[in-house]
Amino acid sequence: MLSERQRQVLKLIVADYVASAIPVASKNIVERHRLPVSSATVRSDMMALEEEGFITRPHTSGGGIPSDRGYRYYVDSLLEEAPLPAAQRFTIRRQFQELGPEWDAWCQAAAGALAKLGHNAAVVTAPRAPEAHVRQVQLIALQETLALLVLVLQEAKLKQQLFPLPSSTPDDLTHASNRLTRHLAGHNRFEIAAITVSWSELEAAAIQAVLRLLKEEDERSRRAAYVDGLRHILSQPEFSSGERAREVVEAFEERDSLAGLVVELTESRALNVVIGDEMPRDALRQCGVVVASYGWPGEVSGTLGIVGPTRMDYSHAIATVRFLRDLLDELLSSLHSGQHN
């Protein structure tokens, strides 16, 4: 059990080390923060923190740095979260409004904003349902024997495919579009394959095209990860050695694996912080991750997170992830209700 002063000393060690990446000495803590105690008293507290595993000292006579356990205690018990400044929130909102209702652009913008504000790497996965669901089907005649099949998904995405026509008329296309939408809306590809309805030749061919598009979307969405800011994390002193930098670069190059990692680390709707040895991947055990999900778990959801060294500004990272999570929630809701301008 830490005393109140030991808690304060640990908090100051974390703050100073995050800012400088230099081991923190007791004398510097007293002078920088004008503590009403001697450096010998703080040194005694630091020895107690070291014995309990909250800090380590690279050199016996040197300053202390937080351990993974120290960062965990800080995040769970000492961290004071402050919201992003209003000016930053306004700028980001305006940026998203200018992009228009396009999820690929929004996810890339979210990754860019997370990386820029967090000064670390960022990962965003696109919103998806466990399987894509149909919202609307439309067949549009292009030539006498060729149409464009437009598939609108409930996940706020639109898919298009050229579609060869059997003999048909524009009235046939309108009737088929209405009938397909009526029977397929709200269903995924497995449910559609099980529908027992008598289809026309045109409708049956369109359904096969719809099933192919849904399968492609299910497979693509499981792989989709938007990554930005690798340059930020590589500029940190923790990754100045070639071996550590190589491990991080390889982890980020495997985007399928990276997308799976942030999904794995997300606990329902809760914002989650994973630090150092808590990471399930060896290559990232020098890192910390702040990750959250957005959308509606079990229906349509995605994930977003900041990845940095364990020596990251967790307070700022949490505030940044929380704001972008809430913004993506709003955008997803507005698309589903048709309110986005």
Q: Give the whole-angstrom CA distance, residue 48 versus residue 2.
A: 9
Instruction: State the average pLDDT over residues 179-186.
Output: 95
Rounded percentage of the chain residues whose pLDDT exceeds 70: 91
* Token digits of residue 170: 């524009």
* Closest C-alpha among 33, 72, 30 to residue 54: 72
Averaged pLDDT for residues 57-84: 92
Comparing 185-189, 192-196, 226-230, 330-334, the range with the smallest average pLDDT is 330-334
- The total number of residues shown for the chain amounts to 341
Q: What pLDDT does 170 receive?
A: 66
Give every CB contact of residue 79 below 8 A, 6+ residues apart in sequence: 314, 315, 318
- Contacts for 152 with CB less than 8 Å, ≥ 6 apart: 134, 135, 136, 137, 138, 158
Does residue 273 have a pLDDT over 80? yes
Predicted local distance difference test score (pLDDT) of residue 175: 93
Q: In whole angstroms, what is the distance from residue 102 CA to residue 99 CA?
A: 7
For the cut 90, the answer to whether the pLDDT of residue 138 exceeds it is: yes
pLDDT at 294 over 60: yes
Does the domain at 86-128+225-337 match CATH 3.30.450.40? Answer given as yes
pLDDT class of 82 with cuts at 50, 70, 90: confident
The reply to whether CATH 3.30.390 applies to domain 134-222 is yes
Lowest mean pLDDT among 11-20, 145-154, 176-185: 145-154
* Average per-residue pLDDT for the chain: 88
**Reported confidence tier of residue 258, pLDDT bands at 50, 70, 90:** confident
pLDDT band at 326 (very low <50, low <70, confident <90, very high): very high
Residue 209 has pLDDT above 80, yes or no: yes
* CB-CB neighbours of 44 under 10 Å: 16
pLDDT at residue 130 greater than cutoff 90: no
Whole-angstrom Cα distance, residue 268 to residue 294?
9
CATH topology of domain 4-78: Arc Repressor Mutant, subunit A (1.10.10)
Reference 123, options 111, 134, 132, 109; nearest CA is 111
**Residue 216's pLDDT band (cuts 50, 70, 90):** confident
Q: Region 191-209: what's the mean pLDDT?
A: 92
- Per-residue pLDDT, averaged over 238-260, amounts to 79
Q: What confidence category does residue 297 fall into, taking pLDDT thresholds of 50, 70 and 90? A: low
> Which tokens is 136 given?
């609307």
What does the domain layout of the chain look like in residue ranges? Answer: 4-78, 86-128+225-337, 134-222
- What pLDDT, in 10s, does the model give residues 159-174? 999 988 877 676 789 9
What whole-number percentage of the chain has pLDDT above 90? 58
